[in-house]
Amino acid sequence: MSCYKILEFKELGDERGNLVAIEGAQDIPFEIKRVFYMYGTDDTMIRGQHANRRSQFVLINVSGSSKVRIDDGRGHTEIVNLDKPRIGIYLPPMIWKEMYDFSSDSTLLCLSDTHYDATEYIRDYNEYIKELNG
């Protein structure tokens, strides 16, 4: 499935601990305009459940773990387990995403190339399929 890409960031560290630095348009394929994160999410909750018309995202579990179900709307789905703070997943526009199975210590960091705009979200899966197929 080529609609996403796993990103592995350099982990720097010494006797003081570890450090991961991420720079927009270098370590990820866009300039960062928005940063948000999810934490305290019950393991039975499903987050996301939408596609974005214009926004690109990189998702990184900086603490704990979660899973991301990726659906390209063309019959291909894949599940990615995010459980290392140096691993991220790049998601381009028009990909349906669902985040779930959050560990109790999960903090899921989300980086985006756009500012929030509610009009670019598609929150109904059937509408997503219609729009994707023209």
- At 35-71, the pLDDT tens digits run 999 999 999 999 999 999 999 999 999 999 999 999 9
Phi-psi region of 59 (alpha: psi -120 to 50; beta: other; left: phi over 0): beta
Domains of the chain as residue ranges with CATH: 5-11+22-132 (2.60.120.10)
Choose among 47, 46, 59: nearest CA to 5. Answer: 59
Active site residue 50: yes
Mean pLDDT, residues 105-111? 98
Catalytic residue among 50, 69, 84, 86: 50
Tell me: pLDDT of 23 over 70.
yes
| pLDDT cut 70: percent of the chain above it | 99
pTM, two decimal places:
0.94
